């Protein structure tokens, strides 16, 4: 039994199944982070005082992380473009850089977190730190998820290129959409938590 | 998804005939098997939820009296044993279900004994709270929604749109097993120290924040259930948009498919905020944050050691952002089933099909901006309260359009009064009572009086129990021949219907009366200490007895499901003479083989019954 | 997509990358002025909004995406905005009381 439209697109929607699927998933992710941002707004407007991000957080490190994540988004889309141009080797390079950027982001995050803990800043200290750790922690989990998926497509999963190139390109596009979304969330998290 | 599509056609047949037991029945990727798995699991959860409430009803009717545990245990055990040995089924489905019912009886025994729950058979208030919280959780999240969406949606929807399977079969399997794990976590929470969650199914903080370990398990279980419904709803939407048969345009979809489509959107977009709420409450309980903890909270005379600065209202917003759309998740698939059954048994096209479709789309939209009508007494602003009252009144309009269309569809039809139709006919007034009793709750002035009284319980149980659950019964009686190739016994079915119908009203109507008198909900003695409750207190006993009698009538249903399986398989693929595509697939489509012998094409609308000039009184969608 | 088409796309990706970098610098620079909170929030969200739109439109190809997906996202944004602001609006009476 063959499921239709796994590779080619359906004529009236112009989509293949997985692309619609990932966008629906991202829509639900929008609501997930929407719920967190809504909590942030409600807690902050209700608070008698609210610290500026810089009193606890390290802005230069976070700026570095922003640059790293945006760069990884570019290499991610380039890895897909390379497959579109039938350049598998380039794909490997760009995807490799994307994964490395993901790791770099997590390493920087690790140093940030451990610095907080050394100073005795824990989620239980106040609402600002609570929401900081929850939001960045959840975002970090999304980054880890992205790295796992990307690593699979870079390694064992890339064999598919040799017998189903179209399908593999689709998969990279899907993985890319997710990765860009993680980047997009960070673009909002960065000013909200660190700069305001 | 990977392996099913990349292997070429030649190996397909061999591959399928080699499927072993585990791949065919347990870790199946076939939507029909997954639908049946969902169905059996959720029916068992419904039974468990019902068992819990039977225990609660004893306490309400006869407070502080010894619970006659064995009067309840023995019948359950006997039914379990009977089903186990009913025999003649392949694979041994009856044995599995029988063992499950015996296991539930064991759980019931565990709950009915023990010093920390029922010392000497007398229920502790803490344990009553656990039962209440778990009854709600199990019924809503583990029973009704998985049955309406997971079971019916999974089994029927792909057949009705002429698809070979769901768009992502492996995700579908994952969705079931994640749900299963979530259910196991929920049940396991009864066995942890301090027992299961006891802060109500709404888990309002700060009470839930400081509750026993069971609450953490509840939150973990919910995370699993939310993940399951996320996987499921993505799959449903993609399937409906992408895998419709040729010629099956959106306006030709059976109404049931439309309801599943909208329901999936509600699940997809409304559940994540509850996941957020769950994560935040987990942080509060585990990492010591104060998202929901106000400053200076005093617990048992001492200041609670939390940093404060949070607000319990935040939980209510996030919770009801899900839980209001969840009401429509409960009712929409029910309406879909009812529409199918009514069109089929009146032998007429649905009256106002288009407007019903527009109504549910509109309903989906508005359902996201009505949630704060559960929160009028939290002290919210008057302007915003007016906004939520307005949207609440507006959202009753599409429900009424749908209900009226269904009523009008009856007019002039030559109605066949079989069991599914009886349940469908009962649904209409019952859901009507449920819906109309909601209006006073949607207006903040009357809500102040009615809030947290038995009126609320009566209202939503009318929507869900004689409403949704009757629709689900109608669906089971209606599609049972599709799934098994046999029609359920009509006599047993009618006994089941009339018994349930009468008992349901004796259970839930008195609640409305009590609520108007001001009897508060969630009181473990049924409110007997208050002066204003005294003249309606006798109703507690009426309701409890009706609940236990209703359990007796469910036995007819359970037994019917299994003895009807032993009948001769019928050859007719379309016993109800229905028009939708599910009835053009072979009867009890072979498992894991795809659905249709030839790929169906659709030429007409969904309910072409009694077309003037036709020889037959129905025209299947795939007939030119 | 055609081969030459892709080449053009790649150029766009790098322009967007450059713009995102510039905007990151701008957003950090604005924060260093310690403006009044209302202005700071507005500016920061405008910059973040522009950056987010660029990522969504070009990296995620929303600019040329199919109608079905755009409709689903439009629905989502509607609900997202409701979720974002309605909870706080229900508290608006007590919030304004706090401020005054």
B241 touches chain C (CB under 8 A): yes
B112 touches chain A (CB under 8 A): no
Q: What average pLDDT is seen over chain B?
A: 92
Residue of C nearest to B383 (CA): C90
| B145 Cβ contact partners less than 8 Å away, ≥ 6 residues apart | B229, B326, B329, B330
Option in C86, C92, C94 nearest B369 (CB): C86
Q: Which of B295, B317, B324, B395 to mutate to test the interface with C (most CBs of C within 10 A)?
A: B317
Left (φ > 0), alpha (ψ -120 to 50) or beta: where does B301 sit? left
Find, among B38, B307, B283, B52, the residue nearest to B175 by Cα: B38
What does the buried/exposed string (b/e) look like for B66-96 if buried means 16 or more CB atoms within 10 Å of the residue's CB? ebebeebbeebbebbebbbebeeeeeebbee
Q: Give pLDDT, residue B307.
A: 87
Q: Give pLDDT, residue C2.
A: 53
Task: With cut-offs at 50, 70 and 90, classify the pLDDT of residue B85.
Answer: confident
Least confident interval from B49-63, B543-557, B607-621:
B607-621
Beta carbons of B283 and A17 less than 8 Å apart: no
B10, pLDDT greater than 70: no
Option in C68, C82, C89 nearest B368 (CB): C82
Give me Rg for the CA atoms of chain C. 19
Beta carbons of B382 and C89 less than 8 Å apart: no
Classify burial at B260, counting beta carbons within 10 Å of its beta carbon; exposed 0-12, middle 13-18, buried 19 or more: buried
How many Cβ pairs within 8 Å bridge chains B and C?
Answer: 44
A14 touches chain C (CB under 8 A): yes
Residue of B nearest to A47 (CA): B309
* B 297-316 residues inside an 8 A Cβ radius of A: 306-307, 309-311, 313-314
B236 touches chain C (CB under 8 A): no
Beta carbons of C90 and B384 less than 8 Å apart: yes
Task: With cut-offs at 50, 70 and 90, classify the pLDDT of residue B3.
Answer: very low
Least confident interval from A14-23, B153-162, B301-310:
B301-310
C81, pLDDT greater than 50: yes
On whether the CB atoms of residues C22 and C47 are closer than 8 A, the answer is no
Report the distance separating Cα B499 and Cα B538, nearest Å: 22
Residue B303's SS3 state is strand
Helices (H) and strands (E) in chain C, counts: 4, 0
Mean pLDDT throughout B14-23? 66
**Rounded to 5 degrees, what are φ and ψ at B335?**
-60, -40
Q: Give pLDDT, residue B381.
A: 84
Q: Would you give the end-to-end CA distance of chain C in angstroms?
A: 59
Nearest Cα of chain A lies from the Cα of C33 at a distance, in angstroms, of 11
Option in C16, C24, C66 nearest A14 (CB): C66
Residue B378's SS3 state is helix
Q: Give pLDDT, residue B7.
A: 39
Beta carbons of B372 and C90 less than 8 Å apart: yes
Report the distance separating Cα B359 and Cα B353, nearest Å: 10
Q: Would you give the end-to-end CA distance of chain A in angstroms?
A: 55
On whether the CB atoms of residues B477 and B423 are closer than 8 A, the answer is yes
B621, pLDDT greater than 90: yes
Least confident interval from B7-21, B537-551, B583-597:
B7-21
Residues of chain A contacting C84 with CB distance shorter than 8 Å = 34, 37-38, 41
Find, among A71, A99, A108, the residue nearest to A175 by Cα: A99
Residues of chain A contacting C59 with CB distance shorter than 8 Å = 73-74, 76-77, 176, 180, 183
- DSSP-assigned beta bridge partners for residue B214: B196
| B199 Cβ contact partners less than 8 Å away, ≥ 6 residues apart | B129, B133, B207, B208, B211, B215
B547, pLDDT greater than 90: yes
Least confident interval from A52-56, B82-86, B567-571:
B567-571
C95, pLDDT greater than 50: yes
3-state secondary structure labels for all residues of B430-480:
HHHHHHHCCHHHHCHHHHHHHCCEHHHHHHHHHHHHHHHHHHHHHHHHHHH
CA atoms within 13 A on the CB side of B153: 34
Report the distance separating Cα B293 and Cα A46, nearest Å: 13
Q: Give pLDDT, residue C91.
A: 82
What separation in angstroms does the CA of B584 have from each of B161, B343, B578, B596, B597?
A: 11, 17, 9, 8, 10
Q: Residues in chain B, how many?
A: 624
Number of other residues whose CB lies within 10 A of the CB of residue B289: 29
Option in B242, B279, B289 nearest A13 (CB): B242
Dihedral of CA atoms B197, B203, B208, B214 in degrees, nearest 10, equals 20
- At how many degrees (to 10) do helices B539-563 and B31-61 cross? 150
Classify burial at A148, counting beta carbons within 10 Å of its beta carbon; exposed 0-12, middle 13-18, buried 19 or more: exposed
Mean pLDDT throughout B556-569? 90
What separation in angstroms does the CA of C10 have from each of A78, A166, A179, C2, C24?
A: 7, 19, 18, 13, 21
B476, pLDDT greater than 80: yes
Q: Give pLDDT, residue B4.
A: 41
Q: Which of C4, C26, C30, C48 to mutate to test the interface with A (most CBs of A within 10 A)?
A: C48
Q: Give pLDDT, residue C98.
A: 54
Residue of A nearest to B277 (CA): A35
Find, among B517, A141, A186, the residue nearest to C51 by Cα: A186
pTM exceeds cut of 0.85: yes
Find, among B105, B180, B76, B42, the residue nearest to B468 by Cα: B42
On whether the CB atoms of residues B367 and B329 are closer than 8 A, the answer is no
Angle formed at CA B509 by CA B506 and CA B513, multiple of 5 degrees: 125
Q: Give pLDDT, residue B595.
A: 84
On whether the CB atoms of residues B618 and B577 are closer than 8 A, the answer is yes
Task: With cut-offs at 50, 70 and 90, classify the pLDDT of residue B1.
Answer: very low
A74 touches chain C (CB under 8 A): yes
**Rounded to 5 degrees, what are φ and ψ at B453?**
-110, 175
Find, among B583, B559, B568, B421, the residue nearest to B487 by Cα: B568
Task: With cut-offs at 50, 70 and 90, classify the pLDDT of residue B597.
Answer: confident
Task: List the subunits that have 3+ CB pairs under 8 angstroms with C.
Answer: A, B
C1, pLDDT greater than 90: no
B319 touches chain C (CB under 8 A): no
Nearest Cα of chain B lies from the Cα of A112 at a distance, in angstroms, of 18
Q: Give pLDDT, residue B604.
A: 93
Option in B6, B289, B314 nearest A42 (CB): B314
B277, pLDDT greater than 60: yes
Angle formed at CA B420 by CA B417 and CA B426, multiple of 5 degrees: 80
Residue of C nearest to B386 (CA): C90
Residue of B nearest to A41 (CA): B314
Beta carbons of C89 and B384 less than 8 Å apart: yes
C53 touches chain A (CB under 8 A): no
Least confident interval from A142-156, B32-46, B367-381:
B367-381
Mean pLDDT throughout A94-108? 97
């Amino acid at each position: 039994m063959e499921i239709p439209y796994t590779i080619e697109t359906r004529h009236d929607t112009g989509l293949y199944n997985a692309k619609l699927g990932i966008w629906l998933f991202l829509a639900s992710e929008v609501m997930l982070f929407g719920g967190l941002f809504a909590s942030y707004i409600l807690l902050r407007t209700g608070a008698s005082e609210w610290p500026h991000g810089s009193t606890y957080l390290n802005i230069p490190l976070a700026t570095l992380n922003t640059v790293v994540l945006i760069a990884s988004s570019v290499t991610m889309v380039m890895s897909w473009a390379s497959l579109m141009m039938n350049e598998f080797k380039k794909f490997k390079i760009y995807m490799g850089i994307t994964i490395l950027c993901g790791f770099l982001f997590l390493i920087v995050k690790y140093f940030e977190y451990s610095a907080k803990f050394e100073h005795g800043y824990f989620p239980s200290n106040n609402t600002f730190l609570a929401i900081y750790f929850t939001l960045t922690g959840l975002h970090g989990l999304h980054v880890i998820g992205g790295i796992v998926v990307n690593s699979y497509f870079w390694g064992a999963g890339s064999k598919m290129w040799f017998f189903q190139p179209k399908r593999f390109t689709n998969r990279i596009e899907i993985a890319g959409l997710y990765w860009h979304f993680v980047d997009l969330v960070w673009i909002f998290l960065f000013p909200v938590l660190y700069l305001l | 998804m990977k392996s099913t599509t990349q292997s070429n056609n030649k190996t397909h047949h061999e591959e399928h005939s080699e499927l072993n037991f585990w791949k065919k029945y347990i870790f199946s990727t076939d939507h029909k098997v997954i639908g049946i798995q969902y169905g059996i699991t959720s029916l068992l959860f419904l039974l468990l939820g019902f068992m819990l409430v039977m225990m609660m009803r004893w306490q309400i009717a006869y407070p502080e009296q010894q619970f006659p545990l064995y009067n309840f245990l023995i019948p359950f055990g006997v039914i379990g044993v009977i089903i186990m040995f009913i025999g003649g089924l392949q694979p041994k489905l009856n044995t599995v279900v029988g063992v499950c019912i015996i296991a539930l009886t064991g759980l019931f025994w565990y709950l009915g004994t023990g010093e920390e729950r029922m010392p000497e058979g007398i229920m502790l208030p803490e344990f009553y709270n656990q039962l209440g919280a778990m009854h709600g959780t199990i019924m809503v999240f583990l029973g009704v929604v998985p049955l309406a969406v997971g079971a019916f949606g999974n089994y029927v929807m792909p057949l009705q749109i002429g698809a070979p399977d769901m768009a992502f079969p492996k995700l579908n399997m994952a969705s079931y097993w994640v749900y299963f794990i979530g259910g196991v976590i929920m049940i396991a929470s009864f066995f942890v120290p301090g027992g299961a969650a006891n802060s109500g199914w709404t888990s309002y903080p700060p009470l839930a924040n400081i509750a026993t370990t069971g609450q953490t398990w509840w939150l973990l279980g919910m995370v699993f259930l939310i993940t399951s419904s996320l996987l499921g709803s993505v799959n449903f939407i993609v399937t409906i948009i992408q895998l419709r048969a040729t010629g099956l345009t959106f306006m030709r979809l059976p109404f049931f498919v439309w309801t599943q489509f909208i329901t999936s959107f509600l699940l997809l977009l409304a559940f994540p905020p509850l996941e957020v709420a769950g994560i935040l409450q987990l942080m509060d309980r585990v990492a010591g944050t104060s998202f929901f903890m106000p400053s200076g909270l005093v617990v048992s005379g001492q200041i609670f050691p939390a940093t404060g600065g949070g607000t319990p209202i935040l939980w209510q917003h996030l919770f009801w952002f899900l839980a209001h759309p969840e009401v429509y998740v409960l009712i929409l698939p029910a309406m879909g089933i009812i529409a199918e059954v009514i069109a089929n048994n009146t032998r007429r096209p649905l009256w106002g099909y288009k407007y019903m479709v527009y109504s549910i789309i509109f309903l989906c939209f508005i359902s996201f901006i009505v949630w704060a009508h559960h929160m009028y007494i939290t002290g919210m602003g008057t302007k915003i309260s007016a906004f939520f009252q307005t949207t609440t009144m507006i959202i009753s309009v599409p429900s009424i359009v749908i209900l009226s269309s269904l009523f009008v569809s009856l007019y002039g039809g030559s109605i066949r009064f079989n069991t599914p139709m009886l349940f469908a006919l009962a649904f209409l007034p019952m859901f009507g009572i449920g819906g109309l009793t909601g209006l006073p709750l949607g207006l903040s002035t009357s809500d102040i009086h009615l809030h947290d009284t038995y009126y609320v319980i009566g209202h939503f149980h009318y929507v869900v129990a004689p409403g949704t659950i009757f629709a689900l019964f109608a669906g089971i009686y209606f599609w049972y021949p599709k799934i098994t190739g046999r029609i359920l016994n009509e006599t047993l079915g009618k006994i089941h219907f009339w018994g349930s119908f009468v008992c349901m009203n004796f259970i839930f109507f008195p609640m409305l009366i009590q609520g108007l008198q001001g009897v508060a909900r969630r009181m473990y003695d049924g409110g007997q200490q208050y002066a204003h409750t005294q003249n309606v207190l006798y109703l507690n006993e009426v309701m409890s007895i009706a609940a236990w009698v209703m359990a007796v009538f469910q036995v007819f249903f359970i037994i019917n499901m299994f003895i009807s399986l032993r009948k001769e398989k019928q050859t007719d693929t379309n016993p109800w003479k229905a028009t939708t595509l599910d009835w053009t697939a072979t009867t009890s489509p072979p498992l894991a083989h795809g659905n249709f012998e030839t790929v169906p094409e659709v030429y007409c609308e969904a309910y072409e019954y009694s077309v003037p000039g036709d020889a037959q009184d129905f025209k299947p969608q795939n007939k030119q | 997509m055609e081969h030459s088409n892709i080449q053009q796309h790649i150029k766009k990706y790098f322009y967007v990358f450059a713009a995102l970098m510039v905007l990151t610098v701008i957003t950090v620079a604005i924060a260093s002025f310690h403006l009044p909170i209302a202005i700071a929030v507005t500016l920061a969200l405008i910059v973040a909004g522009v950056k987010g739109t660029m990522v969504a439109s070009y990296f995620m190809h929303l600019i040329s995406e199919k109608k079905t997906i755009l409709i689903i996202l439009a629905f989502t944004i509607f609900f997202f905005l409701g979720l974002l602001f309605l909870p706080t609006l229900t508290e608006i009476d007590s919030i304004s009381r706090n401020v005054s």
